[in-house]
Amino acid sequence: MLVDVDEGVQLDVEVLGDEDAPAMLLLGGAGWSRDWWDDDLCARLVARGRRVIRHDPRDTGASTCWPVGAPDYTGQELVTDALAVLDAVGVARAHVVGLSAGGGTAQELALAHRERITALTLIATTAIDPVGDLPGPTPAIRAVFADEGPGPDWSDPEAAVTALVEAERPFAGPDAFDEKRIRAIAERVVARSRDLAASTTNPFLVTDGGGPTGVRELAGLPVLVVHGTADPVFPVEHGRALAAAIPGARLLELEGMGHQVPPEPTWDRFVDAALGK
C-alpha cells in the first residue's frame, strides 16, 4: 500500500503477519527497495510470531523518486519516514532491524524516539558516532566505489537484472553469494521500480541531516549487533566496537558473511538471536 509521509511523498509499504503480533520494522541498505529483505526470511520471522513491516524508502521501488542526481531530502527525513510508516500501519512500538545504512537510521531513530522502540537489531553496520580507530573497506571494495564507468541501460530489464546481481556479488562473503536467490530478488526489483537510475544514484548523495549521536545512550534497550567475519565494507571490528559501545548489547558474529542480509544457512542462528532466544 502507498502511504503519504510528507507533502508529495509516498512510500510503498508491505505488512506481513498477524495484526496483533509484535512488530518488526526492516530498514535496508542505501538504494535497497523492500524486496532485498528475502521473502523466505520474512516468512520465517512471521512463522515465529512476528508482524513484519518492510517498505520502499524514497527513490526506491514504487515509492516517490527524485530526478537522478538531485535528491531533495536528508537522512533525517528517512528517520521520520520510518515513524510515519509505523503510524500508517497502527504500530506504536516496534523492534527495528537495520542493515548497513539502515542500521545508521535505526540508531538515530532509537536515540530520537526511544519510546517507539522495543529492541534493535543492527546488521553489517557501524556506530553513527566514532568509536575508535577502525579499519576501512577492503581494497577490492574501494575499487568498486571508485569505478565511475558507464552504468547499464536501466531501460533494458535483462541488463538491469544482471547489473543488480553483479553489484551485490563483491559485497557478499566469499562463499555466501546465493546467485539464484539474488537474481530472483533483482528480477522483482526491476519489475517494481519506478526509476532504477534514481535508486542506484540518489540514496548515496543524501546528507546526514544532523540527528542525535552517542550510542552509549542506547543502554538498557535490547540491542543485538550482527556482523559477518568477511564484511568488506565495515570489517568485523566495526561490529565488535559497536556492540562494545552500547552497554548490554549482544554480538552475533556470522562466519563468512559479508556486507549482506544474513545468508540462508545462518537463518536459524540469526532469527533465534534476533528474537532473544
Residue 207 has pLDDT above 90, yes or no: no
> Each residue of 151-189: pLDDT tens digit?
889 999 999 999 999 999 999 999 999 999 999 999 999
DSSP 2-26: EEEEETTEEEEEEEES-TTSPEEEE
**Contacts for 159-165 with beta carbons within 8 Å, 24 or more apart?**
160/186, 160/190, 160/196, 161/186, 161/187, 161/190, 164/189, 164/190
Q: Are 71 and 11 in contact (CB under 8 A)?
A: no
Active-site residue, from 63, 100, 193, 199? 100
Per-residue pLDDT at 132: 79
pLDDT of residue 209: 65
Cell triple for residue 60? Answer: 526506491
Task: Write down the catalytic residue from 59, 195, 231, 238.
Answer: 231
pLDDT value, residue 143: 92
Residue 211, pLDDT score: 67
**63-75 tens-digit pLDDT:** 999 999 999 999 9
**Average pLDDT value for residue range 127-149:** 88
259 catalytically annotated: yes
* Catalytic annotation, pick one of 55, 227, 238, 259: 259
The pLDDT of 9-30, averaged and rounded, is 97
Q: Look up residue 108 and give its three cell numbers.
A: 538515530
- At 151 the pLDDT is 80
User: How do residues 210-261 score in pLDDT, each as one tens digit?
Assistant: 667 789 999 999 999 999 999 999 999 999 999 999 999 999 999 999 999 9
38: pLDDT strictly greater than 90: yes
pLDDT at 247: 96
- Residues above pLDDT 90, as percent of the chain: 89
CB atoms within 10 A of CB 194: 16
Cα 172 to Cα 103: distance, rounded to the nearest angstrom: 17
Where in the sequence is the domain holding 158, given as residue range(s)? 2-274
> Is pLDDT above 80 for 102?
yes
Q: Is the dihedral of CA 162, 236, 29, 35 positive or negative?
A: positive
Q: What percent of the chain has pLDDT over 70?
A: 99
Evaluate if residue 202 carries a pLDDT over 90.
Answer: yes
Which strands sit side by side in the sheet containing 250-254, from one edge to the other? 2-6, 9-16, 51-55, 23-27, 94-99, 117-123, 223-228, 250-254
Q: Per the structure, how many domains does the chain have?
A: 1
Q: Which residue has the cell 533525517?
A: 76
Q: How many residues does the chain have?
A: 277
Q: What is the CATH number of the domain that holds 77?
A: 3.40.50.1820
What mean pLDDT do residues 129-147 have? 89
Whether 22 has a pLDDT exceeding 90, the answer reads: yes
Q: How far apart are CA 41 and CA 205, in angstroms?
A: 30
